[in-house]
Structure 1
Amino acid sequence: MDLKDIQNLIKFVAKSGTSEVKLEMEDIKITIKTGSGKTETTIVQQAPVGLPQMPVAAQAPAAIQPVTEGGDQKDEASKYIEITSPIIGTFYRKPSPDKDVFVEIGDNVNEDTVVCMVEAMKLFNEIEAEVSGKIVKVLVEDGTPVEFGQPLFLVDPS
């Protein structure tokens, strides 16, 4: 069962009016509880023997949002803007393996500057900055999966 199937199941359960659904298959257990305007989903997936188990986490949807981190860095980090992934897929910093990265730390970008690509279902989608400023941090490793709304870059708009 892939992520899209799980998302469709959650939508179906939310629309059906059912208060709780449990689904158990050979390698995955899913519990979806609804009620009082919120939906809670628990996914437990069995990892093959010898491999560490990775938690499944949901990301808040957003295109660009100010960074709000806790602790001493809150004032410093709040001046940065996040460029987030508009889709689920695989993050790539280069247009192809033999080319240079789209942007480096310290590069200035504007609203229509392509900063990366996200591959989803064999389609490569160019992701534009949608904000002007200087790239201060790359938050995702090249070739790793990203979620919808996951922060990819930090931009200093000043």
Structure 2
Amino acid sequence: MKLRRSFEEGHRRKLLIVVDESQEVESALYYAASRVLRSSGSVAMLYVIEPGEFQNWAGVRQVQLEEETTKAKALFRLFRRKLSLAGFENIETEEIIREGRLAEEILKLIADDEDIALLVLGASIDAKGPGPLVASFAAGRMAGGFPVPIAVVPGQLSLDEIKALA
């Protein structure tokens, strides 16, 4: 396992969240921002463009990439605005867009960026389960060998409860 550099001099600790349109992203975002506010660092927001079914059609793929990139940027703006409205306007954020399979891209990013110190996931309150990332990373067979700690934030917590926990 690669030694993380996030606590060495000259490095800033990053808390990684995965951005999508699910409700539980907000819980992860507020928890990460609360932790950063208390201990310094920044919040890295990752959006992954998953491969589509039209991989062989370059024109269609290019349009899909453009649409997904526009969607990612809109989500980043939305979450920065939500941070500001929740009292986290001074939190430094980083926006990362990658293309590939979600789990693979998360692992690649953590391997590439030694300043990532924590993956923060929001757990869904849906009866179907906590969500695919929580199920595979935090509770699945990868949990024991994951390269950074994982914080799982219950989706039903209020902003005040999240701030108190962080």
Structure with bigger gyration radius: 1
* TM-score between the two structures when normalised by the length of structure 2: 0.25
Greater RCO, 1 or 2 (C-alpha within 8 Å, sep 6+): 2
Greater strand fraction, Structure 1 or Structure 2: 1
